[in-house]
Structure 1
C-alpha cells in the first residue's frame, strides 16, 4: 500500500508540475485510481501529501483540485523565493564543490545555446532552468532550506516560467545563469546573493501580471 501511495503521489505530482493537469482542475479519486491501476486509498493518501505541499487544495463536499494561485499569492511566493534562493546562492558560493560548478556550468551553457534560437524547445528550456535552480540549492548543502524551496520552485506557474517569456527575456535569463555560475565559482556570496535575487524578481515581473486575479 505504501508503494502504491508513493507511486500515485509521484505520478500526480509530475502531471501537476509539468502542466498536464491545469490549475483549478478537479482531481477525481475514482478516475485517478482507474488510470493508475490502484484503489482509492493510495490516491487519497497521495492527494493529502500534495495538499501539504500546496499543490492540491480540498473544497468542502467537492473534493480535491489543483491549486489555483491568485496574483497576490504568486507575488508573495516570488518574494519568499527571492529571499530563500538568494540565500541558497550565497551558501552555494561558500560550500560549492568542483562537481557542483561543473553541473551548473554545463546546464547554464546548454541553456545559453538554446536561448540563442528564438524557436528553441520551451519544454527543454524549462527542464534545464528548473534543473539549474535545483542544482544551486543542492550546492548550498542545506537540507532545511532545500525542503522550503522545493515546495515553491515546483509550483506549476513558477516551474513553467519560460513558457511565458519572450525570446529576448530568455536570452537575458540564460546570461544571468552564466553570471551566477561565475559568482558561485568565485566564492563571492554577496555577488551570488544579489544576482539571484534580481533574477527571481525579474521573473516575478513577467509572471504575476499574467495571472488571473
Structure 2
C-alpha cells in the first residue's frame, strides 16, 4: 500500500529539482499552506518530518527552516520531542484574523478593481478564478472556488507585500463548513465582489469584500461547534 499523501498536488508551482535552498523553503511553506486550506491537514495534526520530506522530495534542512517560518507566522507550533503541529486556533484568534482580513482584503479588492483598465487584466482575473460555478456543490469544489476567488483578488491587487500579509492570515477558516447552505450564501457574496472588480468599481469592490468577510465571520460564529474552525480548548 502506498504511503498516505498529506499534501495536495502542487498547483501553479515548479518542481523542486534544481531549486536553490531559499526557493525550496518557499515551496515547502506554500505546499503546507495549501494542504491546510484544502482540508488535507487538520488543526492540531502532527507533521511527521520523515513522511513530509519524503513526499515533498526535500531534505531535512529546508523542511526545518520552513517549519520555523510557519511557526513565526502562527501556522504551526514546534513542540520539543514532538516536532511540528498545525496550530490550533482559538475563537478569538478567528475573530481577530477576520477583522484584519476585512481591512487587507478590502484594500486588495479595491486595488484589483482599479487595475481592470490595464490591458489584459480582466482576462487574467477571470482565468485566475477558474471555478466561479460549483460553489453550492457538497464536494471539494466549493473550497477550491473559495480559495481561488480570494487568491485571485489578492494577486490581482498587484502588491506583493499586501499579498504576503493576506496569505499569512489564511487558515482553516477559509475552508468553511461542509454544507451547501454556507456555500450558497458565500457564492452570492462572491458574485457581488467579482462583478464590482470586473466593473472597475474600487469602492464597491472594497465594500463587497468587507461585507462578505463580516458575514462569513457571523456564519462561523453561529455554526455548530463541530463545524467551527477553532479548537474546544480555545473557547
Q: TM-score, normalised by structure 2?
A: 0.74
**Structure with higher helix content:** 1
State how far apart, in whole Å, the 1-side matches of 2:104 and 2:125 are.
Answer: 19
User: What's the CA shift for 1:38?
Assistant: 4.8
User: What's the CA shift for 1:130?
Assistant: 1.1
Secondary structure of the structure 1 residue equivalent to 2:134: helix
Which residue in the other structure is 1:87 paired with?
107
Give 1:105-120 correspondences, 5 Å limit: 105=126, 110-111=131-132, 113-115=133-135, 120=137
State how far apart, in whole Å, the 2-side matches of 1:31 and 1:109 are.
Answer: 32
**Are 1:18 and 2:31 counterparts?**
no
* Match of residue 168, structure 1, among 164, 181, 201: 181
Contact 2:193/2:209 (8 A) holds in 1: yes
User: What's the CA shift for 1:51?
Assistant: 1.6
State how far apart, in whole Å, the 2-side matches of 1:167 and 1:196 are.
Answer: 21
Secondary structure of the structure 1 residue equivalent to 2:198: helix
Secondary structure of the structure 2 residue equivalent to 1:23: coil
Residue-by-residue CA offset, 1:66-97 (whole Å, 9 max, x unaligned): 11111100110011101111111112222223
User: What's the CA shift for 1:13?
Assistant: 3.7
Contact 2:70/2:76 (8 A) holds in 1: yes
Higher relative contact order (CA 8 A, sep 6+): 1
* Match of residue 47, structure 1, among 67, 78, 82: 67
Q: For the aligned residues, what is the CA RMSD? A: 2.8
User: What's the CA shift for 1:20?
Assistant: 1.8
User: What's the CA shift for 1:21?
Assistant: 2.1
User: What's the CA shift for 1:131?
Assistant: 1.1
Which residue in the other structure is 2:196 paired with?
183
Which residue in the other structure is 1:159 paired with?
174
Which residue in the other structure is 1:127 paired with?
144
Residue-by-residue CA offset, 1:4-33 (whole Å, 9 max, x unaligned): 645544444433332222111122334434
**Are 1:101 and 2:129 counterparts?**
no
- In structure 2, runs of 5+ residues without a counterpart are 1-19, 223-227
